Amino acid sequence: MFIKITDITTQVFTSYSNNEAQADAIVICLTESELRQGAVLGQPQLDQALQGLKEKGIFTGASGELEALPTHGLLPYAYVLVAGLGPVTSRETLRAASVYAAREALALRLERLALKLPSSIDSRSAVIALTEGLLLGTYRIASYRKNEPVRAELRQAVLLTEAAADAALLAQAIATAETVAEGTNYARDLTNLPGNKLVPASLAEEAMKLAQHCGFACEVLDEQEIAARGMGGLTAVGAGSVNPPRLITLQYKGDPDSTDVLGIVGKGVTFDTGGISMKDPDGMEEMISDMGGAASILGAMHVVGQLKPKVNLIVVIPSAENMTSGAAYRPGDVVTLLSGHSVEVLNTDAEGRIILAEGLTYAKQLGANRLIDVATLTGAVLISFGDVATAAVTNDDEFLKPFMGAAAQADEKVWQLPNYPEYRAMLKSDVADVRNSTGTSRWAGATTAGLFIGFFAEETPWIHLDTGGTAWLWSEKGTEPKGATGVMVRTLASYLCGSAIY
């Protein structure tokens, strides 16, 4: 559950012997070369203890390492938390160090933390990275236990700066970083909700709350209106559930003088059994995360609502439960979508691409002239990239280039898959315009799934992002928590808000 640190501020660092921040611990971030130089903590006995850890190979300064050194009264802090940065200081390694420091502070039940900014990176970048890391590192999944013990909370953090730092600039950097981290944690919260607590109607209610808070225009189509508009794909996918589908739309006009309108479409399958093409029950509980694309888009829109970038956006979230019942759609069905194209259904577990196709068409009808879709689309992407990278497919490499730059700025890993005609040919159907699966062949599954969606983008510049491996983790991995990661919120925010963030 996202718990906001109530107070993150900056203060000028004077010396380790002073504790103007009144913190329980101080965090020192070190590169490998700085550790080798020794005498980094300003107290001989603590420096000796740190060098002892280095000699034993316990702490080498590598990124991801963190050690808590009790000060035993030698400094006016209970602990010094020493975090490794690896060979060089970067925004990515600083963010990671801050995540680990926040987790350790919670484990030690510390309430106040001071973090010294390294001098090897500009203060604004350091403040953004450390603030994001603190807020992302304190994230925990909500508990529904009857007698949940009181959880530790990190209530205050002070970022210790050089005397020459611009206080107003850094205060703005903190506020921006808080907004981005809040958007990421908001997406995590939505994705982690159990399937019985988040159905299409309640996802629509959440989107309406966000729209009201941020001043976005909002439209929600119910199942009758979805069918009346001719969205046979979304109707079919949602037909097997007692919780009917919804089509959710948010609109933001940040640049009314521009004709450029970006459509962002997010997969909102609130639970996915696979339908008639039933999934293996082992691990099916993860399918609460099948609306991770929708959650990431709503998280990004939280950032947009606060930072007000000069862009025009149409956000479309087709939402359904893919369940099995006597009313469920079947393998072999042919359904007609909003675009007028027919789809031969070979696999009812390939439902996300069908509802995303509806979303792309609707976004175009509303005026979008560029498109991005985000979806936990395939298990096949895990075969290609594991849980490390998000896959991208596009019909316009020039459109993708700045987006990949935004991903690099946000330190989220995205890798492009090919868009060759041979892959598109694998989706040809004998009875419909296109089929939703390649049939018995599972070759190039992540690529062909993306290209099915691209069929409905037609000539409109389009990017598909498959977060099937990155939106959810079975256990904590590096800086990412167990469960929902909120992946792509930072990248989308970076792409939409530009230099206002990174």
- Tell me if 282 is assigned to a ligand binding site: no
- Specify whether the CB–CB gap between 72 and 14 falls below 8 A: no
H or E segment to which residue 70 belongs:
strand 66-70
- Tell me if 24 is assigned to a ligand binding site: no
- Tell me if 290 is assigned to a ligand binding site: yes
Question: Choosing from 112, 116, 124, 353, which is the catalytic residue?
Answer: 353
112 is catalytic: no
- Tell me if 255 is assigned to a ligand binding site: no
- Tell me if 351 is assigned to a ligand binding site: yes
Cα 377 to chain center, whole Å? 15
Question: Choosing from 155, 279, 308, 482, which is the catalytic residue?
Answer: 279
DSSP string covering 108-162, please? Answer: TT--EEEEEPPTTS-HHHHHHHHHHHHHHHT-------TTPPPPP---EEEEEE-
- Specify whether the CB–CB gap between 225 and 280 falls below 8 A: no
Cα–Cα dist 188/237, whole Å: 25
Q: What are phi and psi of 99, to 5 degrees?
A: -60, -50
Tokens of 268: 């909102």
279 is catalytic: yes
H or E segment to which residue 217 belongs:
strand 217-221
Cα–Cα dist 448/215, whole Å: 37
Count Cβ neighbours within 10 Å for each residue of 389-413 and write b for 16 or more, e otherwise. bbbbbbbbeebbeebbebbebbbbe
Task: Report which DSSP code applies to 278.
Answer: P
Annotated binding residues for Mn(2+), as ranges? Answer: 267, 272, 290, 349, 351
- Active-site residues: which are they? 279, 353
Annotated binding residues, as ranges? Answer: 267, 272, 290, 349, 351
